[in-house]
Structure 1
Amino acid sequence: MRYAEICVNSPVAGRQTFSYAIPPSLNINAGQAVWVPFGEKLLQGIVLELSDYPAVPETREIADIIEPQPLLSPAQVLLAYWISRHYLSPLFDAVALMLPPGFGRKALTFISASISEDFDISSLGEEQRHALELIKEDGKISQKKLEKALGQKKAQVIVSQLVRRGLATRSYELEAIKIKPKLESYLNLAITTDQAEQEIAKSRERKTERQAALLEFLAQQSQPVYISDAKKAAKCDTSVANTLISKGLIRSFELESAKKRKKPKLYLSLLVRAEEARRIAVWLQERITARQAALLSFLAEQAEPVSLSEARQKTKCDKTTLNALVQKKLITVQLLEVRRNPLTHYDITPSSPLILTDAQQSALMTISQSLAPGEKKESKVFLLHGVTGSGKTEVYLQALAETVRLGKGGIVLVPEISLTPQTIERFASRFPNQVAILHSQLSPGEQFDEWHRISKGDCNVVIGPRSALFAPQPDLGLIIIDEEHEWSYKQSDNSPHYHARNTAIKLAELTGAVVILGSATPDVETFYHTQKGDYHLLQLPERVTPSQNSPLPQVEIVDLREELKAGNRSLFSRFLSQAITQAIASQEQVMLFLNRRGGATFIQCRNCGFVFRCRRCEVALTHHPDRNILVCHQCNYQIPVPQFCPRCSSQRIKFLGMGTQRLEQETGNVFPQARLLRWDSDTTREKHSHQEILNRFRDHQADILIGTQMINKGLDVPRVTLVGVVN
């Protein structure tokens, strides 16, 4: 028997693995997801190692396989171990970084009674009897429902007692899968195009269906039928009967006994034999209707299967039309997996590589040499240090093109989701239909589809923030970290706490990939490694066309104390105010940066000095004037705007400090002619909001863009000639 070392999805598992025996019926590989018994529960686990000997004397068996194929590559298994050791994080938390979206599922516990008929239930305690009664009522009760009735701890104790005494048994059922591939119905011809044209040529009106139904009904009757009953049975109107009468197939008449009535009753009967009527009815049914002909004609024009939704939109067909063609075996309907494409809102125009400067060419050549097969340099980490506008992105693109040419894939990391739309446009235009994106603002379905596209090797390029580093790129050749100095590459809010830059370098070491760290202002630690010789320094000292003749932006530092002395109490210095006015007059654009969102950044009682703070985080609450609430930006704790101080009951409540909402309001007051746009986490809650704001600003639908850190991460907007950092 073989054994597996498994990291288990349990908070008590910590940084250790657990030994499990592999049943002979299961084919287990490293990196595979499995169900394992853990205490009294059934939990998810990931197989990290296989061995012929267990690490402990007694082991339990793996219950079942979750996925038939391994979810982690050998390099990712080693990376998970490294993250757990290096950052002192639970092992499963490190593994979870690399698992597909929607992976987390629970095994639901159910309790069933197993009492023999002669058992004396009075020998049990009152609580145990009550629990058994609840179990017997449902036949099988979920642990959660029992806990709700008895209390969590009490229910767990009682169930354990009953199971030990053999009076109850546990069983497990898996939670429903949260995210699945999206399936859509597609239509295709089941006959040749020539045969379809023949069917279309003999198409009929919809009324012939009713004619066939009426003939079929009358053929089944042994005597004349009252016309109202016939119309009801055939679901037709009087015009259908009149058509058959005109064709000499049926007749209408009055009974002798009814001729004296004011409103005589009409009856219908066949003028042909029943067998002939049935033959004609079949012939009528075989002819297709005008709607069926329209759908058949549309499908005959298509070179490949068409989605049902598109066919309905183009031909206005309904379910009846579709089913009729399927029954006649003229078309087929099949369920196909369709991609939830997050790039549908992007306008991608293919682009060609640009001519490189000498410095760019030198940097690219050095990187390409490391990408070459068989290259065994000690370090494959490069710091691409280039001034603003020096063309670092073009070096990324051409290095990535060389990686793809060698049959490998790449991962491109950006510091902010806000930068992702701009990066996607550049890379997708150079690598059409080869780019996947991964970030938290995608829908769960989009994340699921992108993850599986990457794992199948369908994407040469993966783009996203730090979490995209763990994409299942099958043959990783290049990792690019743009703006490598940014603090947002550090994950500090959730476990595991890791630095994406250092983790990327470790992943590259495990896979043999090359790492490019790009920045105009490198991190001190990174630059120190270049001085030690750990990393290779590549310099881009000059700006490229059209910026090469433009000097680097002039930086003006304004002492606001001097502004106050001069009587200027505005949020804007005189210098900044004048520069904004000139830029707007020249049809140029302005960006104003303030790394605080909301209105006032803290609220204080001017009588006793009390500051309103979050009761959980102890940080000052921020005023959001649009909703008139105070919000904690750490945990989202919210309270209404207070009217009185809770300490001294004073009404002298003062709103102090400034966020982007207040800056937007003040900017509108000072520059009423300017069109404003705000970009922060309050304005980007909707899907595609980052892209929409960026597109609006680039299309010059706004003169001034006000934002937090989202706007200072390398946006490329040609009309921007002024950036103000507001204190």
Structure 2
Amino acid sequence: MPVTENTLFTSTSASSSVYAEVIIPLALPQNYTWRIPEHLQSLTSPGCRVEVNLGKQKKYAGIVKRIHSDKPEFFEPKDILNVLDAEPVVYAEQLKLWEWMATYYMCSEGEVMAAGLPAHFKLSSETIVVYNEEFGDDFTNLDAEEYVVAEALLLKKELKLTEIQLILDSPHVYPVVNRLIHKRVCYVWEALKNTYAPKKETYILLQKAYEQEATLAKLLNEDPKLQRAEKQMELLLAYLHLSKTTGSVTRQALLKKSGASDAQLKGLIAKNILRSEKREVDRIQYLPKDITIDFELSPAQQTAYQQVKESFTDKTVSLLHGVTSSGKTQLYIRLIEEHIKQGKQVLYMLPEIALTSQIIRRLQKHFGGYIGVYHSKFSQNERVEIWNKVKSGELKIILGARSTLFLPFRDLSLIICDEEHDTSYKQQEPAPRYHGRDTAIYFASLYQAKVLLGSATPSLESYYNAQTGKYALIELNERFGDVQMPQIQMIDIRKIERKPNDKEKAIITPDLAKAIEESIARQKQVILFQNRRGYSPYQVCSVCNWVPKCKHCNVSLTFHKHTNQLACHYCGSTYPPLQTCLACGSHAFVQRNFGTEKIEELLQEKFPKAKVARMDIDTVRGKHAHDTLLQQFEQQRIDILVGTQMVVKGLDFDTVALVGILDADGILNFADFRVNERAYQLMEQVSGRAGRRSETGQVLIQTGQPQHPVLQYVQQHAYKKMYADEIDKRKQFAYPPFARIIHLNFKHKIKEVVQQAAQQFTVSLQPKYGNYLTGPAEPIINRIRNQYIMELLIKLPRQQQLIQECKQDIKIQIINLQQQQRFRSVVVIPDVDGV
């Protein structure tokens, strides 16, 4: 149970000093200490925000981690300026999580705090310029710029620097402000500004004099002022109707219902018939709280459900290995029901927000307003409101991506990590570079909660932990409703005869085109998967083979036909399409390979009567865009859905009969020790979207290497064979789960500098860790955003002491490296469990 009461300093003597270790949301080498003034001691407790000065009068809102009486030995701590919260913003469990994440993932607690708190809790220091009333209003000695600012200050009394920039239409306002300060026209006030504001709605109510039926009837039938005002009478009648049907009436709803104007409403308020009232309202609308479970588990599901419950008696973590469409979600719903009926909280994690829209509708059907959703598409105000509802225990079920782990749960008892194998659970940029699944397991231990990992294609690490007894293993090997696993057929693209310049067959082969036609004719839906977005991943000069590349990254540019631009998918830079080769001057460009945009265009040409849609990061940018697209597909308003990995992950559609994987070779040809595992997971997951209800689905995979072992495993749905093959190779070459990996990235704008820095760093680690080092080496893409990159891989045996020592030695070597003038600006990024 989290700490909810303030720690009071009732026994502190007046003469003794009390100190606070405070976490600041910055990448600082350590947490700093401030003194708690006597008048703030009774108000300060761990988890509260405090206002502190750091550096030259910069103010920050930090979180108190620890209160102690150990005076720092080498400096005199500054005083805390203010306590910002009456009760803790975060619980003790969160502070422990932040500390663990910082230690394990080699970052600072400030970076974890910055990632974990909504922006409105991380108050920023803003420079406020305040007018000096003693100066008066004689501006004759001021120049033109000074005069404009002084006049604005005279009217508004205080201005932010950003506002002064707008007034002068210039970013360079510091000299002007400095001159005004010297002339005593104004002075500077540093203030912490809390930007969160509750949403308020205007409600319309009947004046108390007319709440009785008799007085209301007299008003309606006899009042001459109202009888003559026909529009006001209509507005009043609309109000009475709305109040009876909905209970409370907002100003906006009333004006919409009645068709009246704001002036007519103000007229009724002026006559003391109606009154208005401001109320705080939720930005997110919640359904009534209700539990309605309208399904029964199948015998196989019921067996798995009992096994999960039994496994939790002696294991903290259980792995549910259920084939695609086996009904894992229904099993989750039963577990959630059991926990929330006990008054507990449940966290349901998904790898990406694209998955949440379909799952949330299903969970809302069963649990109504018990559910809250939390992800990056919500506004900062919405996040604060969800945060507070989780903290108070009002929300019992939270659904979202990895960032939900930072929420202040009051009584967490179960974490469900669905699609636990998914790479999206691993944070890439910025720090903390944590893995959502692994962090969830530690977080659950702080509450003595249980963790259920679920997947049709578990990660090798999780399955190994289950095989060796660290996790419990529960298997669900049959599809719900006894539907057969989809039939998978390989299409060997080497055997397809192609005419010169006939690019169409290279993308959609005749066999796949025929299968699409048959599916549409039977009013079934089709999903086509291609793991590249855009129109053409790269174009090449047919004369000299020159490929257009990004100016800032060593990567080819992708052509997007819709926007008619070349785009870099690493830094986001865009360029106009090239007509002339910059190497040889020819105009003969050839487009190579194909992305989802090109497939969409080709499908619209080939199947003009079919409704085609595309699902990738370019088409689902809006807050509700992915949900709208999925609902259209669910309602069969789309016949063919083409997309990237978004169409793979956990989506459940009744009438998908055919799935096509257009370029299996592109998935298999990555330089990564996990390539076979991930290729199998991707293809098995996308195959699982086919035939989920009444009939056996069909999957067609286009490839130039149909005998590849991974494709054979996919065709047989043989996860265990793939696992056995891969785990032997992992053991042989000392890769996870038999080793811990720390991946070091070195970045600098000068290639020679970053190469030398990486080499020197490696040499310093060589004596102690020589057997565990791979590199340094350039990655395939060796320059991103004008920064050259070198990589060093450290594969450590799973010995806790050695791993801790190595992490500490890495930190020391980073400090040593950056103390050298030549390497001071080299950025070294450790990524634990990376690659």
TM-score, length basis structure 2: 0.68
* 2:113 equivalent in structure 1: 95
Alpha-carbon deviation of 1:442?
3.1
**Counterparts of 2:229 and 2:295, CA distance in 1:** 65
Matched, 1:6 2:22: yes
Instruction: Work out which of the residue numbers 197, 208, 216 in structure 2 matches 1:196.
Output: 216
Q: For the structure 1 residues 553 and 370, does the alpha-carbon distance in structure 2 shift closer, same or farther, using more than 3 Å as the test?
A: closer
Alpha-carbon deviation of 1:713?
0.8
**Counterparts of 2:461 and 2:469, CA distance in 1:** 13
Alpha-carbon deviation of 1:707?
0.6
Q: Sequence identity, in percent? A: 30
* 2:303 equivalent in structure 1: 362
SS in structure 2 of the partner of residue 700 of structure 1: coil
Instruction: Report the structure number with the largest CA radius of gyration.
Output: 1
**Counterparts of 1:329 and 1:153, CA distance in 2:** 53
Q: Return the letter of the residue paired with 1:201.
A: N
SS in structure 2 of the partner of residue 617 of structure 1: coil
Matched, 1:656 2:592: yes
Instruction: Work out which of the residue numbers 48, 52, 60 in structure 1 matches 2:69.
Output: 52
Residue correspondence of structure 1 range 199-598 to structure 2 within 5 A:
199-205=219-225, 290-291=233-234, 293-294=236-237, 297-298=240-241, 301=244, 304-326=247-269, 329-341=272-284, 352-368=293-309, 377=314, 379-545=315-481, 548=482, 550-564=483-497, 570=505, 571-598=507-534
Q: For the structure 1 residues 621 and 51, does the alpha-carbon distance in structure 2 shift closer, same or farther, using more than 3 Å as the test?
A: same
Alpha-carbon deviation of 1:451?
3.0
**Counterparts of 2:333 and 2:96, CA distance in 1:** 29
SS in structure 1 of the partner of residue 320 of structure 2: strand
Alpha-carbon deviation of 1:152?
10
SS in structure 1 of the partner of residue 614 of structure 2: strand
Matched, 1:724 2:660: yes
**Counterparts of 1:179 and 1:474, CA distance in 2:** 24
Alpha-carbon deviation of 1:522?
0.4
**Counterparts of 2:535 and 2:115, CA distance in 1:** 36
SS in structure 2 of the partner of residue 290 of structure 1: helix
TM-score, length basis structure 1: 0.77
SS in structure 2 of the partner of residue 97 of structure 1: helix
Unaligned runs of 5+ in 2: 1-16, 136-142, 664-835
SS in structure 2 of the partner of residue 29 of structure 1: coil
User: Does structure 2 retain, via aligned residues, the 8 Å contact 1:112–1:135?
Assistant: no
Q: For the structure 1 residues 183 and 71, does the alpha-carbon distance in structure 2 shift closer, same or farther, using more than 3 Å as the test?
A: farther
**Counterparts of 2:620 and 2:90, CA distance in 1:** 33
* 1:249 equivalent in structure 2: none
**Counterparts of 2:70 and 2:276, CA distance in 1:** 52
CA offset digits 1:63-116 (Å, max 9, x no partner) = 2233333221111110011111111123122123332353343222246899x9
Alpha-carbon deviation of 1:699?
1.6
Q: Return the letter of the residue paired with 2:473.
A: L
* 1:75 equivalent in structure 2: 93
User: Does structure 2 retain, via aligned residues, the 8 Å contact 1:193–1:300?
Assistant: no
**Counterparts of 1:300 and 1:194, CA distance in 2:** 17
SS in structure 2 of the partner of residue 501 of structure 1: helix
**Counterparts of 1:181 and 1:146, CA distance in 2:** 28
> CA RMSD, aligned part only?
3.8
Q: For the structure 1 residues 302 and 573, does the alpha-carbon distance in structure 2 shift closer, same or farther, using more than 3 Å as the test?
A: closer
* 2:59 equivalent in structure 1: 42
Alpha-carbon deviation of 1:535?
0.9
**Counterparts of 1:354 and 1:299, CA distance in 2:** 36
The farther-off stretch of 349-358 and 621-630 is 349-358
User: Does structure 2 retain, via aligned residues, the 8 Å contact 1:181–1:338?
Assistant: yes
Matched, 1:19 2:34: yes
**Counterparts of 1:481 and 1:713, CA distance in 2:** 13
Unaligned runs of 5+ in 1: 118-128, 211-287
* 1:214 equivalent in structure 2: none
Residue correspondence of structure 1 range 112-261 to structure 2 within 5 A:
170-175=188-193, 177=195, 180-190=198-208, 191-205=211-225
User: How many residues of Structure 1 are paired with residues of Structure 2 in the alignment?
Assistant: 626
Matched, 1:85 2:21: no
Q: Return the letter of the residue paired with 1:681.
A: I
CA offset digits 1:319-371 (Å, max 9, x no partner) = 45544554555444221222223679xx9998524322344323323443577
User: Does structure 2 retain, via aligned residues, the 8 Å contact 1:359–1:540?
Assistant: yes
**Counterparts of 2:490 and 2:517, CA distance in 1:** 18
User: Does structure 1 retain, via aligned residues, the 8 Å contact 2:204–2:274?
Assistant: no
**Counterparts of 1:484 and 1:398, CA distance in 2:** 19
User: Does structure 1 retain, via aligned residues, the 8 Å contact 2:200–2:278?
Assistant: no
Q: For the structure 1 residues 204 and 73, does the alpha-carbon distance in structure 2 shift closer, same or farther, using more than 3 Å as the test?
A: same
* 1:688 equivalent in structure 2: 624
User: Does structure 1 retain, via aligned residues, the 8 Å contact 2:121–2:194?
Assistant: no
SS in structure 2 of the partner of residue 447 of structure 1: helix
* 2:557 equivalent in structure 1: 621
* 1:274 equivalent in structure 2: none
Q: For the structure 1 residues 302 and 535, does the alpha-carbon distance in structure 2 shift closer, same or farther, using more than 3 Å as the test?
A: same
Q: Return the letter of the residue paired with 2:116.
A: M
**Counterparts of 1:82 and 1:8, CA distance in 2:** 16
Q: Return the letter of the residue paired with 2:304.
A: A
Q: For the structure 1 residues 613 and 188, does the alpha-carbon distance in structure 2 shift closer, same or farther, using more than 3 Å as the test?
A: farther
Q: Return the letter of the residue paired with 1:495.
A: A
Alpha-carbon deviation of 1:684?
1.0
User: Does structure 2 retain, via aligned residues, the 8 Å contact 1:601–1:657?
Assistant: yes
Alpha-carbon deviation of 1:657?
1.6
Q: Return the letter of the residue paired with 1:589.
A: Q
Q: Return the letter of the residue paired with 1:88.
A: M
Q: Return the letter of the residue paired with 2:305.
A: L
Q: Return the letter of the residue paired with 1:308.
A: R
CA offset digits 1:652-686 (Å, max 9, x no partner) = 22221210010111222333332211111111122
Instruction: Work out which of the residue numbers 537, 540, 551 in structure 2 matches 1:601.
Output: 537
Alpha-carbon deviation of 1:178?
5.2
Alpha-carbon deviation of 1:449?
3.2
User: Does structure 2 retain, via aligned residues, the 8 Å contact 1:15–1:84?
Assistant: no
SS in structure 2 of the partner of residue 521 of structure 1: coil
SS in structure 2 of the partner of residue 551 of structure 1: coil
User: Does structure 2 retain, via aligned residues, the 8 Å contact 1:409–1:475?
Assistant: yes
**Counterparts of 2:277 and 2:452, CA distance in 1:** 46
Alpha-carbon deviation of 1:426?
1.4
CA offset digits 1:422-459 (Å, max 9, x no partner) = 11111111101111111222344443433333233222
SS in structure 1 of the partner of residue 348 of structure 2: strand
Alpha-carbon deviation of 1:176?
6.1
User: Does structure 1 retain, via aligned residues, the 8 Å contact 2:198–2:281?
Assistant: no
User: Does structure 2 retain, via aligned residues, the 8 Å contact 1:644–1:651?
Assistant: yes
Q: Return the letter of the residue paired with 1:196.
A: L
User: Does structure 1 retain, via aligned residues, the 8 Å contact 2:114–2:122?
Assistant: no
SS in structure 1 of the partner of residue 489 of structure 2: coil
**Counterparts of 2:131 and 2:232, CA distance in 1:** 60
Alpha-carbon deviation of 1:517?
0.4
